[in-house]
Amino acid sequence: MLDGMPPARLSLSAPLRAVTLRDAFWDRYTRLVRDKVIPYQWEALNDRVPGAERSHAVENFRIAAGLAQGEFHGYVFQDSDLAKWLEAVAYRLTTDPDPALEAAADEVIALVGQAQQPDGYLNTYYTVAQPGKRWTDERRKHELYCAGHLMEAAVAYFEATGKRALLDIVCRFAEHIRGVFGPGPGQKHGYPGHQVIELALVKLFHATGDRRHLELASYFIDERGRQPHFYDAEERERGERGHQGYFEDYVYAYTQAHLPVREQEQAVGHAVRAVYLYSGMADLAMETGDESLAAACRALWANLTRRRMYVTGGIGSQDYGEDFTFDYDLPNATMYAETCASIGLVFFAQRMLALEPRGEYADVMERALYNGVLSGISLDGERFFYVNPLEVWPAACAGRHDHRHVAPVRQPWFGCACCPPNLARLVASIGRYVYSTSQDTAWVHLFAGSALAARFQDRPVRILQTTGYPREEATAFTFELDQPTRFRLALRIPGWCRHPVLRLNGAELELAALARDGYACLDRAWSATDRVELALPMPVERVRAHPGVPADAGKVALQRGPEVYCLEEADNGDRLWGLGLPPGAPLEARFDPDLLGGTGVIEGPALRRSDSGWADELYSSAAPADLPARIRAVPYRVWGNRGPGEMTVWIREPS
């Protein structure tokens, strides 16, 4: 009954099939994805949702396969919607088999195969709408991006089902791509305008053992940003003068192609592309041991997470270019903070953890997961945020052009449907982010009720994690093993926790002696009677932003455990900006089983700026009056489930 996979070195993460997740927190989301999102998306991809924007994604493949007549419809990257759905399906089949769903997936995979061209090429936009124009505009047209998502789906589906059909399709496609791109004289010395194929090729290498996939990923990474510039060459070949399109003035930085990647030190450009690139860089640094690439990853990580990241793990400070802007520019109402970007940040963090297990990577991964990622989906699983603001005034969303990208309520489905399927594939595979293993160590990165199957000393081991996280403070680890087995259990000690307590079989351990880079490392021959208990006290924390951040000056955010809280109009009335939270105000956290399907809340006294004494004037030098008030905060990820209204993460702190 004990089963595990033999790890040769520190794994990217434990394989999904090695992790069994049964967790009060995550089950809510995995069930939503299983019961609502994946079925809904399948209907949407097949244009069977009344009233929703037409996807046409499956129909595009039918047309490309010659099975239907018609025109291509959708974005140039429409194929990726189907790919991300297939990837989510694969994860769901891994944890939760479903023959009918698998049959549907097999059928659409066969269709994808029929749409593949004799030379291995596979992209419905070019096949249907632009025959003969393949590989002429990689900067803008997403061919390699769609290829990358298909590769990720293929690897996941192969690992879930053992079926090679899609894997073979993408390997043929990869071979085609290797012919087109490379250092040879007849080849394009280029790389994708929208990254993802780099990390996908590394996955393909892992699944197949074919090093040529790794080499192609390295080529794309190494070539990026070199002079003479690929985009200029493309443009010349198209016979165009001057780069076309909206992003003219920062065409290179927008796609992180302004410098060779090893010279990049600041997170710039389109945030999703950036973190997909950085993930691929970290993958390669780990696979190849390239220290210069690892150093670039560390520099980009530091800049991104210490200068350009929201407290929710959101990234992308402006709508224009869906872009990082500059250090400490973190406006709360006009940002982008796309759900996909926080998902990509989780990918990047996971890979940095694999490169070097340090708690700061897991801290950011957790911050993004519990806040800026899960805020993307409604509690009923039917609506999604693309943009995740930290402050909402619905009147501004409706009335200000510079807020037009910010929806005050989640939307049912998007024409550009990147975020919902991205959320689905992440949540369906959340077990992969909880653990990783090396020859002699089991790393615990996240706290979630689960079991990990592993092998140490060539024996199967099962580590059981029992927790009420993030609602409760206590987590326990027990072990299923046939005989005492030596390995190291490395438990993450979250950066947000000031006073963690670790016990082994009831005896408190000296944490300082065990701590290494944010992990408490317990090295012993474990037996089936051992019990490790980790208590992570979760008082309400007042969090402040660095004094360099203008948007948060004089304000606090409330956090309990990994969860950032926010104020909503539904609980606090309107004019949230009129509320002030004095530093000494006692704040209490409790669980409200009746609110939002059961949620933590933080409550306490506050002050509310009074508008009595104001006649109809706009400015006055009369002394202001503050009235006693109470606030109630809810976790950021559950905001916006009660209709439109004001919301704010950052609260004024009169001090």
Closest approach, Cβ 411 to a second copy, in A, equals 19
Stretch that binds a second copy, among 281-289, 414-422, 508-516, 611-619 (CB under 8 A): 611-619
Q: Between residue 575 and residue 594, which ones bind a second copy under the rule CB under 8 A? A: 575, 577-578, 580, 583
Candidates 300, 545, 581, 602: give the one binding a second copy (CB under 8 A): 545
- Retrieve residue 488's tokens: 């190291």
Place of tokens 């065990």: 514
Number of other residues whose CB lies within 10 A of the CB of residue 504: 16
Task: Give the C-alpha separation, 260 to 564, whole Å.
Answer: 36
Task: Give the C-alpha separation, 626 to 608, whole Å.
Answer: 5
Quick one: DSSP state of residue 616?
S
- Retrieve residue 249's tokens: 């003035």
Residue type, 189: H
Closest approach, Cβ 271 to a second copy, in A, equals 14
Determine contact, residues 502/532, Cβ cutoff 8 Å: yes
Q: Between residue 382 and residue 401, which ones bind a second copy under the rule CB under 8 A? A: 393, 395-396, 399-401
Determine contact, residues 377/423, Cβ cutoff 8 Å: yes
Q: Is 496 in the site for a second copy (CB under 8 A)?
A: yes
Of the pair 9, 246, the CB lying nearest a second copy is at: 246
Task: Give the C-alpha separation, 461 to 530, whole Å.
Answer: 13
- Retrieve residue 53's tokens: 């924007």
Q: Is 326 in the site for a second copy (CB under 8 A)?
A: yes
Of the pair 384, 496, the CB lying nearest a second copy is at: 496
Closest approach, Cβ 628 to a second copy, in A, equals 14
Task: Give the C-alpha separation, 409 to 420, whole Å.
Answer: 15
Of the pair 416, 553, the CB lying nearest a second copy is at: 553
Q: Is 560 in the site for a second copy (CB under 8 A)?
A: no
Closest approach, Cβ 554 to a second copy, in A, equals 5
Task: Give the C-alpha separation, 127 to 60, whole Å.
Answer: 9
- β-pair type (441-444, 485-492): parallel
Burial 405-440 (b: 16+ CB within 10 A, else e): bbbbbbeebbeebbbbbbbbbbbbbbbbbbbbbbee
Candidates 550, 597, 598, 643: give the one binding a second copy (CB under 8 A): 550
Q: Between residue 291 and residue 310, which ones bind a second copy under the rule CB under 8 A? A: 302, 305-307, 309
Closest approach, Cβ 574 to a second copy, in A, equals 9
Q: Which residues are 628's β-sheet partners?
A: 607
Of the pair 130, 318, the CB lying nearest a second copy is at: 318
Q: Which of 584, 589, 388 lies closest to 472 in space, CA to CA?
A: 589
Closest approach, Cβ 266 to a second copy, in A, equals 12
Residue type, 164: R
Q: Is 265 in the site for a second copy (CB under 8 A)?
A: no
User: Residue 369, SS3?
Assistant: helix
Closest approach, Cβ 401 to a second copy, in A, equals 3
CA distances to 273, 324, 376, 398 from 332, in Å: 22, 14, 16, 16
Task: Give the C-alpha separation, 363 to 493, whole Å.
Answer: 9
Cα atoms in the 13 Å half-sphere on the side-chain side of 378: 18
Stretch that binds a second copy, among 24-32, 85-93, 444-452, 549-557 (CB under 8 A): 549-557
Q: Between residue 622 and residue 641, which ones bind a second copy under the rule CB under 8 A? A: 622-624, 626
Determine contact, residues 3/20, Cβ cutoff 8 Å: no
Q: Between residue 332 and residue 351, which ones bind a second copy under the rule CB under 8 A? A: 334
Catalytic annotation, pick one of 322, 366, 646, 653: 322
Task: Give the C-alpha separation, 648 to 549, whole Å.
Answer: 16
Q: Between residue 396 and residue 425, which ones bind a second copy under the rule CB under 8 A? A: 396, 399-402
Closest approach, Cβ 415 to a second copy, in A, equals 19
Of the pair 329, 603, the CB lying nearest a second copy is at: 329
Q: Is 546 in the site for a second copy (CB under 8 A)?
A: yes
- Retrieve residue 8's tokens: 């040769």
Q: Is 119 in the site for a second copy (CB under 8 A)?
A: no
Stretch that binds a second copy, among 368-376, 442-450, 594-602, 606-614 (CB under 8 A): 606-614
Q: Between residue 348 and residue 377, which ones bind a second copy under the rule CB under 8 A? A: none
Residue type, 578: G
Stretch that binds a second copy, among 379-387, 415-423, 539-547, 597-605 (CB under 8 A): 539-547
Q: Is 543 in the site for a second copy (CB under 8 A)?
A: yes
Q: Is 517 in the site for a second copy (CB under 8 A)?
A: no
Q: 359 CB contacts (<8 Å, ≥6 apart)?
A: 492, 493, 494, 495, 517, 518, 519
Place of tokens 């317990």: 522
Of the pair 70, 245, the CB lying nearest a second copy is at: 245
Of the pair 68, 625, the CB lying nearest a second copy is at: 625
Closest approach, Cβ 566 to a second copy, in A, equals 15
- Retrieve residue 313's tokens: 């793990």
H-helix or E-strand containing 466? Answer: strand 459-467
Of the pair 592, 611, the CB lying nearest a second copy is at: 611
Q: Is 567 in the site for a second copy (CB under 8 A)?
A: no
Of the pair 150, 564, the CB lying nearest a second copy is at: 564
Q: Between residue 465 and residue 494, which ones bind a second copy under the rule CB under 8 A? A: none
Decide if 480 is catalytic: no
Task: Give the C-alpha separation, 491 to 362, whole Å.
Answer: 11
User: Residue 483, SS3?
Assistant: coil
Of the pair 513, 618, the CB lying nearest a second copy is at: 618
Of the pair 187, 620, the CB lying nearest a second copy is at: 620
Q: Is 618 in the site for a second copy (CB under 8 A)?
A: yes
Closest approach, Cβ 652 to a second copy, in A, equals 5
Determine contact, residues 45/82, Cβ cutoff 8 Å: yes
Decide if 171 is catalytic: no
What DSSP line would sit under 177-214, residue for residue? HHHHBSSSTTSB----SS--HHHHHHHHHHHH--HHHH
Q: Is 245 in the site for a second copy (CB under 8 A)?
A: no
User: Residue 606, SS3?
Assistant: strand
Determine contact, residues 279/272, Cβ cutoff 8 Å: no
Candidates 164, 503, 542, 642: give the one binding a second copy (CB under 8 A): 542
Closest approach, Cβ 66 to a second copy, in A, equals 38
Catalytic annotation, pick one of 146, 171, 418, 419: 418
Candidates 168, 210, 232, 329: give the one binding a second copy (CB under 8 A): 329
Residues that bind a second copy (CB under 8 A): 302, 305-307, 309, 311, 317-321, 325-326, 329, 334, 393, 395-396, 399-402, 496, 498, 541-550, 553-554, 557, 559, 575, 577-578, 580, 583, 609-611, 614, 616-624, 626, 652-655
Question: Which positions are catalytic?
Answer: 322, 418
